[in-house]
Chain A
Amino acid sequence: MKHLSDYQVNDRIAEREWSPTYAQLRQYAEASGDLNPIHLDDAYARRAGLDGVIAHGMLTMAQAGAMLMEWMGGEGTLKSFAVRFERMVSVGERIKFSGYVKDKDSDGLACVLVATNDKGEKKLSGSAVLCFESDR
C-alpha cells in the first residue's frame, strides 16, 4: 500500500496510451449524453471544416484521469484536476499521456500532466492535486 512518503518531487507518473476509435466515440457519446455530431458524423465534421470526427474533450480528459487513478493504485484521492484542450484529437491518432510530481507537501502531491500524439504535438496540458492520508 502506497503512502505519501513513497512519492518524491520529479517522480514520473506511469504513462498511458490511447487511440480513439469510431466505436469508442459512439459508446462514449451514449454514456456521457454528449451526442454532438462533431464526434459521430464524419460528413458533419467535414462541413465544420475538420478532416473527420474528433474525440470529446471530456473523453480525452477521462484518459488523463485514468492515468492518475491507475498510478495512485486505489490509495489517495484526486482533490482537483484541470486541463486545457490544446488541439483536437482525431480517430486513429495515438496519444500518450504522461506527467510528473511538481510539488509535495504534508497533504499531498501537485502533478503536471501532458498528452501528445506521435508527432509530438500537444493535445492536452493540465495539473492535478492528489491527497493522501498522513502516513501511519
Chain B
Amino acid sequence: MSFKGEWLDLSSQALRDVIGWEGEVTVRIEEGAVRKFAEAVGIPFGKRVPPTFLGALMQGGAEGLEAFQDGTVHGEQSITYHRPVEIGDCITCTRKVSDVYERTGKLGKMTLVVVDTKGLSADGKVVFESSSTVIHSAR
C-alpha cells in the first residue's frame, strides 16, 4: 500500500486507517554517502557513521510515505542503537505507522503521524529502533 496524492484530500478517518501500514527498505551504508552527509552537516568524516545518518535516510527517502511529507513539519525524532552502525552494513528497515492523532494548538488543528522504524542486520539482529513524529497543520 502506498499513499500518493494530495495530503489535504485525506479525511481524518482515512488518516487513521493508515495506522498499521508497513513498508520495508534495505539500505547499504556506503562510504560515499556517509562522506557526503558528513560534509553537508559540517563534521569530519571518519570511521564512525554520524548518529543521525540513518534517521536522515529514513526521513528523506520515505518511499510510500510521500503523502506524509508534503506540507509537514518534523515534530520529534528519536533513535536507539543496539550496536554501532558501520560503513558497509546492510540494514533492512521496516517502517510502520504506529499512530495518527489530532491535536489543537496555537497554530490551530494539527494531525500528527508517528512512524516507527526497526532496522535489522543481515543476520537478523536489531541494529536500531527509531520513532518519528511529523505534524501537518490544517489550512
Instruction: Classify chain A's interface size.
Output: 20 to 34
Asked whether A58 and B73 contact (CB < 8 A) given A69-B48, A78-B81, the answer is: no
Cα distance, A61 to B130, chains bound together (Å): 14
* Chain A 47-91: CB-based contact to B (< 8 A → 1; otherwise 0): 010000000111101110110111000000111111111001000
- Cβ of A80 and Cβ of B74 under 8 Å apart? no
Question: 12 new A-B pairs (CB below 8 Å) besides A63-B42, A84-B75?
Answer: A30-B36, A31-B40, A31-B41, A56-B59, A58-B59, A59-B56, A61-B52, A62-B56, A68-B51, A69-B50, A80-B80, A85-B74
A24 at the interface (CB under 8 A from B): yes
> Within the complex, what minimum Cβ distance (angstroms) separates A96 from chain B?
15
B33 at the interface (CB under 8 A from A): yes
Residue of A nearest to B41 (CB): A62
B98 at the interface (CB under 8 A from A): no
- Cβ of A82 and Cβ of B79 under 8 Å apart? yes
Asked whether A61 and B40 contact (CB < 8 A) given A79-B81, A80-B78, A80-B81, the answer is: no
- Cβ of B61 and Cβ of A82 under 8 Å apart? no
Residue of A nearest to B36 (CB): A31
- Cβ of B42 and Cβ of A78 under 8 Å apart? no
Asked whether A36 and B69 contact (CB < 8 A) given A28-B40, A61-B77, A81-B78, the answer is: yes
B interface, CB within 8 angstroms of A:
33, 36-37, 39-43, 48, 50-52, 55-57, 59-61, 69-71, 73-81, 84
Cα distance, A116 to B77, chains bound together (Å): 18
A33 at the interface (CB under 8 A from B): yes
A121 at the interface (CB under 8 A from B): no
- Cβ of A61 and Cβ of B61 under 8 Å apart? no
- Cβ of B37 and Cβ of A56 under 8 Å apart? no
Residues in A whose Cβ lies below 8 Å from that of B81: 77-80
Residue of B nearest to A64 (CB): B52
- Cβ of A18 and Cβ of B77 under 8 Å apart? no
Residues in B whose Cβ lies below 8 Å from that of A34: 56, 59-60
- Cβ of A31 and Cβ of B78 under 8 Å apart? no
Residues in B whose Cβ lies below 8 Å from that of A27: 39-40
Cα distance, A116 to B57, chains bound together (Å): 26
